[in-house]
Structures are given as structure tokens and as C-alpha cells.
Amino acid sequence: MGELIKIENLRHIYPGYDNQEVVALTDINLTINQGEFVAIIGTNGSGKSTLAKHLNALILPTGGKCLIAGIDTADNEKVWEIRQQIGMVFQNPDNQIVAAIVEEDVAFGPENLGVAPQEIARRVTEALALVNMEEYRHHGPHLLSGGQKQRVAIAGVLAMRPKCLVLDEPTAMLDPRGRKEVLDTVCRLNKEGITVVYITHFMEEAVTAHRVVVMEQGKIAMEGTPTEIFCQVERLKTMGLDVPVAAEIAAYLRKQGIQLSQDIISDEQLVVALCP
Amino acid sequence: MSINFDNVTYTYMPGTPYQRTAIQNINLVINKGEFVGIIGHTGSGKSTLVQHMNGLIVPTSGQVTIDGIDLKMKSQAARQIRRQVGMVFQYPEHQLFEETIYQDIAFGPKNLGLSEDQIETRIKRAMEFVGLNYDTFKDRSPFNLSGGQMRRVAIAGVIALEPDYLALDEPAAGLDPCGRDEIFGQIVQLHQQTGITVILVSHNMEDIARFASRVLVMNNGQISLDGLPQEIFNSGREKLQEAGVDVPPITALIDKFRVRGLAISNDVMTAEAAAKGIYQAVRGRTNAH
């Protein structure tokens, strides 16, 4: 399991209102290994999306470095190599679909990489199978549900054979059913070896990651396993973030003098602890 | 004073291969001052239903009236009444277009034919209401704001119309928990202060459970449940499942306790109330031993 993403002292400044500089990211140090599933949480404006955009050179550091498999994203010659390794999926599925037929949409990425037609056909079949959308191969994407569209968008990225998927709030516009479809797909892909960086406001999604990174005002405020992070109920709430219901209730019960272990973050753990 | 749906059916693209009935035989009365939550999965007909409420689409058959006036009519009265229903669509910040926040919020009131003074008063009130300082923000571009702030400008633009009815389609989608609480806090406050009728469409059961005084569950273009949140989330389980809708996370947790033999009151809708209920149940059990 080698290092796939290495971010060193990253700093990013946007030009803002009235020529004032807006510091979006500062002192970011983060290493993500091949095969990891990392969730990034934080309030709006905490720098999550800015950080994600550095991972495939959509934006470049103002200071510090962002290395993808050892390649500096600031190296203009290697931009396409980086973008092939890091696939991005954004919030709104409608903004990411480019073709009128699902299979053509999925083929768009590899076509641009100059992949041979037969190989493209193979990759499209494989990518659609990975997201369970084979039967929609010849459908128009506009007639799909939000969750299905998002899975097509993920297939489009997979067809480029990336090492890592970066998803920026992929479920924000979906209903609970669509959200589950997308999260299940991402978890399965991760089990098959792909590295996942998953930005979300839904804490119950973040709980499924190996590691959670909490952003606050352009910095990494906390980092650890979901259990380590979500048991810190008070701190997360002060930061304006949610915690899973079970963690919140466990914290209340502990305050009332009921003995409960610190690592309760899921319904099942809480129920078993109280009703053994 | 109410919004009335009388046997309303709406069919998209009738007579084409894409023909699809989005809502069917809807009968519904929303009374003034209610806070109605509408839930249902994607494609269940929620948005189609709401778009009938200010005549954005007119029924294929049936009738929608507001305060007794048929929205389909081309009369002055119908035009007036349509303006009484403010609509906040999904991602309303995509509809911002003016150079300054002041001008953007002023667009609606200007079209109502108000004087400059009246418009200014309304903008001040609307901005204060959504928590944006008038002097700090009025001359700034709406495009240099954070997502949450843009959302607030867009909502202020609708509030400045001072509608009697306010329909919001997923107003908190994509906002962080803090932003979500702020937006809902403001809507609840507006509802309490002015008695405005609120129609809230959301996928988020928790929000609906916390804020709405009445819940409609849509499934396959029909209203499958209509009642108090507690009733819906407790006794309407089967129909909720049929409709592809989850119960709120707190209800789900309390269910798991009940399966294990720990009885907790059905009526809790907030984490705080659930925590207290669980605490009492656990204490009660210990004392009984």
C-alpha cells in the first residue's frame, strides 16, 4: 500500500471581493495511501472542495505541494497523467453528463485519452457493470433518476481506469434511495481496490470511511477513524457539524451518569450497550 | 383562505411516447397558516404538485384554486393571487442574476409596481430576515458569496414579495448542518411571526419531522398519507416503506430499542427528546430490578 496522494504545507489563496485575498487553505499536510477510503467533512466554506480540486490539478497550490503518485500537480506537462489517475465526481449529475446515450457518455473519457475503439467498448462494458448500470447502456441519461445519473458519472470516470475517485458531495441532490445506491457503489469499488476521497455533509456516510478528515477554516482540524472523530460530540457541534444520532444520545446518557463506552457511534452499538 | 386541489391530474407530454402521468386525482386543502411537509422519493410527483400552487403548470384535468380563485384563469384576480404564492426552487442561487444583492432582491418587488421607498423597506426587511446585514451586503455582487449566503439572497428575493404562501423545494440541499439549521430557523420564525403558510418539500425526514405540523407522503403521483408527523412516522410505517421513504433516524433508533424490549415514547422527534426518553426507560428498568 504505497502513498498515492501526498500534500505538503499546501496553501491556496483566491482573489476575493475588493481585491482582498481569501485564504482558502493553509498548512494542509495530508497523505492518502493506495486503497484507502477517506471522508472529508466540514462546514460550507471550510475548504473541502478547494482541497479536492487540487487533487487533479483543477487548481494549483499558491504555496506548498500536491503530489499524486509522486508527480507534482504543478508540472504542466503531466497534467493529463494526473487527471487519468484521479477521477472527479461532483454534486450535480446533470452538469456532468455530456452525451445523449449512456454508453457514449461513459466512453467520452477514454475517447479523449486516445484509447483504441475496441478497448473503449470493453472499458464501457466493464465500467457500467461496476456501477450496476449495464441494462441502461442504450438509454438516454436524462430519463434516469438522480442516483442512476450519478452512477453513470462514476462509470465515466472508471472507464479512464483511475487509481482514485474523488467525490465532492455526490449525494447532496439525491433522495435517500439514490444516496444509498451511490454510497453502496462507492464502498464496493473501494473494496475492489480503488482509493476513495469522499466529501460529504452526511455523517452517516462519513461513518463508513476508514479515516475521517475534518476541515475548519481552511485547515485540517481533526483526523482519525470514524470512532475517534464522532465520539467528540461537543467539539464537532461547536464546529457547526452534525454527529450520528447514536453518538449524540450516548454523550447525553454519559452526562446523566450512565456508564457507556466512548466508542459508540452507531445505532447498533448503542442498542447492544443498553440492552445486552 | 386556502389552497384547494380538486381532482387534479397532470400528464407530461400527452399523446407522445413519453406520456407520463405525474400526479393523479389529487384532492387536497391546505389552510392558511399551516406548515405542511411533503415527502416522497424522486419522481413521486412532489415537484409537479408544488408547481401547480402558483399556476406554473395548469392541471390536465381538475382545478386548483387559491382563496376561491381558479389559477387557470387569465383574469387580473388570478394574476394577483398567483403572486401570493412565493416559490423557492431547488438551488435557487442558480437564479441570481443582478450586479448587486440589492438589485437582485429588488427584482420581484419592482415587478409588483412598488415605489422605490417601499422596495427599499422590503429589501431591508428581507435581508434582515435571512440574516444578511443590509449595509455590508447591499452593494456587493451576489456571485462573490459563499453557497449558503447566495442561497439566503435568493430566499430574500422571494420573501421581499411578501407572499401569503411560501413553497420551498429542498431549501437546505447542499448546506452544512449549521446552514441548514439557520435556514429552517428563519423559515419557522417567519411562519410564527407572520402566520405565512409554508409548504416544504424535502427528502430529509428529520427536517420534516422537526418542523412540519402536517405531513403529506407522495407515491406514484398520489397522496398516500396525510396527517400529523407523529402519526405518519409511527402508524404509517408500511405505507412509508411502500412509498420508498425512510422514517427519521431517531424513529429508526427507537424502533431498534423497542425490538430489544426497551419501550420509549413514540412521539419524540428530536435527538434531545429521544435521549431523555431513553434515559428514563433505562433508569426505570434499573429501578424495577
- What would the DSSP string read from start to end of chain B? -EEEEEEEEEEESTTSTT-EEEEEEEEEEEETT-EEEEE--TTSSHHHHHHTTTTSS--SEEEEEETTEETT--SHHHHHHHTTEEEE-SSGGGG--SSSHHHHHHHHHHHTT--HHHHHHHHHHHHHHTT--HHHHTTS-GGGS-HHHHHHHHHHHHHTT--SEEEEESTTTT--HHHHHHHHHHHHHHHHHH--EEEEE-S-HHHHHHH-SEEEEEETTEEEEEE-HHHHHHHTHHHHHHTT-PPPHHHHHHHHHHHTT----TT--SHHHHHHHHHHHHHHHHHH-
Inspect the interface and report whether the beta carbons of A175 and B203 lie closer than 8 Å.
yes
- Of A43, A176, A267, nearest to B178 by CB-CB distance is A43
Cα–Cα dist B80/B175, whole Å: 33
Give the phi and the psi of residue A48 in degrees, each rounded to 5.
Answer: -60, -50
Inspect the interface and report whether the beta carbons of B253 and A245 lie closer than 8 Å.
yes
Among B3, B252, B205, B267, which residue's Cα sits nearest to residue B217?
Answer: B205
Q: Classify domain B2-245 by CATH architecture.
A: 3-Layer(aba) Sandwich (3.40)
Give chain A's end-to-end CA distance (angstroms, integer).
38
Write the pLDDT tens digit of every residue in B169-193: 988 887 888 888 888 988 999 999 9
Residues of B in contact with A176 (CB under 8 A): 41, 203, 205, 244-246
Sign, Cα dihedral of A71, A72, A77, A82: positive
Write the pLDDT tens digit of every residue in A202-217: 888 999 999 999 999 9
Residue B123 contacts residue B160 (beta carbons within 8 Å): yes
Q: Which position has the higher pLDDT, B249 or A63?
A: A63
Cα–Cα dist B185/B151, whole Å: 14
Give the phi and the psi of residue A22 in degrees, each rounded to 5.
Answer: -110, 120
User: Hey, what's the cell of B54?
Assistant: 402558483
The predicted structure's pLDDT at residue A15: 82
Residue A265 contacts residue A246 (beta carbons within 8 Å): yes
What 3-state DSSP class applies to A86? strand
Inspect the interface and report whether the beta carbons of B42 and A145 lie closer than 8 Å.
yes
Residue A144 contacts residue A111 (beta carbons within 8 Å): no
CA distance A201 to chain B (A): 6
Inspect the interface and report whether the beta carbons of B249 and A173 lie closer than 8 Å.
no
Inspect the interface and report whether the beta carbons of A201 and B244 lie closer than 8 Å.
no
Domain ranges of chain B: 2-245, 248-289
Residue of chain B with shortest Cα separation from A146: B42
Give chain B's end-to-end CA distance (angstroms, integer).
56
CA distances, B78 to each of B31, B54, B55, B166 (Å): 18, 10, 9, 17
Inspect the interface and report whether the beta carbons of A201 and B257 lie closer than 8 Å.
no
The predicted structure's pLDDT at residue A104: 94
Cα–Cα dist B84/A61, whole Å: 49
- Of A172, A204, A252, nearest to B275 by CB-CB distance is A252
Residue of chain B with shortest Cα separation from A42: B176
What 3-state DSSP class applies to A28? strand
CA distance B75 to chain A (A): 36
B17 phi-psi bin (left φ>0, alpha ψ -120 to 50, beta other): alpha
> What does the angle CA B193 – CA B199 – CA B200 come to, to the nearest 5 degrees?
105
Residues of A in contact with B205 (CB under 8 A): 176
Domains contained in chain A, CATH given: 3-226 (3.40.50.300)
The predicted structure's pLDDT at residue B289: 57
- Of A17, A44, A174, nearest to B140 by CB-CB distance is A17
Q: Write out residues in chain B with pLDDT < 70, as ranges.
A: 266, 288-289
CA distances, B195 to each of A234, B188, B190, B202 (Å): 35, 10, 7, 21
This model of the complex carries an ipTM of: 0.74
**pLDDT category of residue A51 using cuts at 50, 70 and 90:** very high
Number of A/B CB contacts below 8 angstroms equals 100
Residues of B in contact with A146 (CB under 8 A): 42
Residue B180 contacts residue B207 (beta carbons within 8 Å): yes
Beta bridge partners of A3: A33
- A interface with B, Cβ–Cβ below 8 Å: 16-17, 42-45, 91-92, 145-147, 169, 172-178, 201, 204, 240-242, 245-246, 248-249, 252-253, 256, 258, 267-268, 270-271, 274-275
Among A37, A167, A186, A177, which residue's Cα sits nearest to residue A92?
Answer: A167
Mutation target for A interface from B42, B170, B255: give the one with most A CBs within 10 A: B42
> What does the angle CA B27 – CA B30 – CA B32 come to, to the nearest 5 degrees?
155
Cα–Cα dist B283/A161, whole Å: 56
Cα–Cα dist A142/A127, whole Å: 19
Among A165, A97, A167, which residue's Cα sits nearest to residue A133?
Answer: A97
Write the pLDDT tens digit of every residue in A134-165: 999 998 888 788 888 999 999 999 999 999 99
Inspect the interface and report whether the beta carbons of B42 and A175 lie closer than 8 Å.
yes
Inspect the interface and report whether the beta carbons of B42 and A178 lie closer than 8 Å.
yes
**pLDDT category of residue A1 using cuts at 50, 70 and 90:** low
Residues of B in contact with A274 (CB under 8 A): 257, 262, 278, 282
Among A61, A131, A114, A233, which residue's Cα sits nearest to residue B271?
Answer: A233
The predicted structure's pLDDT at residue B283: 85
Give the phi and the psi of residue B9 in degrees, each rounded to 5.
Answer: -125, 140
Residues of A in contact with B203 (CB under 8 A): 174-176
**A127 pLDDT above the threshold of 60:** yes
% of chain A exceeding 90 in pLDDT: 70
- B interface with A, Cβ–Cβ below 8 Å: 41-43, 90-91, 140-141, 144, 146-148, 173-179, 203, 205, 244-246, 249-250, 252-253, 256-257, 260-262, 271-272, 274-276, 278-279, 282
Chain CA centroid to CA B73, Å: 26
Residues of A in contact with B245 (CB under 8 A): 176
- Whose grid coordinates read 451576489? B142
Give the phi and the psi of residue A66 in degrees, each rounded to 5.
Answer: -130, 115
**A75 pLDDT above the threshold of 80:** yes
Sign, Cα dihedral of B265, B268, B270, B273: negative
